Amino acid sequence: MSNLHGVFTAIVTPFNSNGTRVDEACLIEQIEFQANPPSGEKGVNGIVPVGTTGESPTLSGSEQKRVIELGIEHGQRLGLTVIAGAGSNNTAHAIEMQKFAKQAGADYTLSVTPYYNKPNQEGMYRHFMTVADAADIGVMVYNIPGRSAAGLTVETIARLAAHPNIVAVKEATGSVASASETIQACPDVAVLSGDDPLTLPIISVGGVGVVSVISNLAPDRVRKMVDLALAGDFAAARVEHDALYSLAKSLLSLEPNPVGVKTAMRMLGRDGGSLRLPLAPASDASIRAIEALVDRAGLRATAATA
């Protein structure tokens, strides 16, 4: 599973000006940017189309499949590992998407903890086992209680890890302790940070990378930080961590994801497309705050010289 180590961008889904359709040309541009940043430095290791950052809850079934297809076609063309967002709170739909991702040629799938239903641990265990049985493709379980209202315990993850198709966990509980316990309990499962501010701490306890939001803005810098950390050079990795930390910490708290990241992309002269309702544009106060965070991280200066 060495191709699950590194930086995987939870890529935005660009929409046209009124949010009625996916802007496919713009999406392809974003994939190219992730693989080949203008700085000439290394891009990310992979992409995750149709995650939360990709506004998955408001994509139709056909749109979801089309974005995955484009991610696979152009991501793999550029040497990127593609982890297709295929989760659902509807187990039957998650099974359908797991099968589709396998047929379409994805490398792995990302399957989120069922949201709104609030299943107990046994329900989540059965859900993920059923999904993993549906198609022979590796599953990254996405543990994010803050959005799903139900989180997986370490004990349940350890039970799931016995399935040969459950190969990774996106750890987005906001707890380094939870990540550390998961890593210790599941030595054969790749654990990646799902929270940009915690990427470096999670790698320090045995994590192998990040599914990142801010790499939409700075794929080369997030890749540099993670490469240094995975090589054991935490002092050098911390320099990049410190520079990006305020942006990583605040971008998702000022506005719901991906409002903040799409706002920051526009500040950097990049087209992330419009948002789709019920998400609305950032407030004036948030725009000012995001602008200050982007400048503090040095991203506008970097974009100007690229």
The structural domains of the chain, with segments of one domain joined by +, span 2-229
Name the CATH superfamily housing domain 2-229: Aldolase class I (3.20.20.70)
Per-residue burial over 277-298, b = 16 or more CB atoms within 10 Å of its CB, e = otherwise: eebeebeeebbebbeebbeebe
Active-site residue (options: 65, 170, 224, 262) = 170
Instruction: Give the relative orientation of helices 219-230 and 234-254 as an angle to the nearest 10 degrees.
Output: 140
List pLDDT tens digits, range 51-82. Answer: 999 999 999 999 999 999 999 999 999 999 99
Q: Is 125 among the residues known to form the active site? A: no
What is the pLDDT, as a whole number, of residue 146? 85
Q: Is 262 among the residues known to form the active site? A: no
List pLDDT tens digits, range 199-225. Answer: 999 999 999 999 999 999 999 999 999
pLDDT band at 1 (very low <50, low <70, confident <90, very high): low
Q: Taking all residues of the chain, what is their mean pLDDT, rounded to a whole number?
A: 95
pLDDT over 80 at 287, yes or no = yes
List pLDDT tens digits, range 109-154. Answer: 999 999 989 999 999 999 999 999 999 999 999 999 888 888 999 9
Per-residue burial over 46-72, b = 16 or more CB atoms within 10 Å of its CB, e = otherwise: bbbbbbbbbbbeebeeebbbbbbbbbb
What is the pLDDT, as a whole number, of residue 306? 56
Nearest to 165 by CA among 145, 135, 124, 191: 135
Nearest to 5 by CA among 269, 235, 297, 229: 229
Active-site residue (options: 142, 224, 245, 262) = 142
Mean pLDDT score, 288-301: 93
What is the pLDDT, as a whole number, of residue 119? 94
- The structure's pTM equals 0.96
What is the pLDDT, as a whole number, of residue 149? 82
pLDDT over 70 at 305, yes or no = no
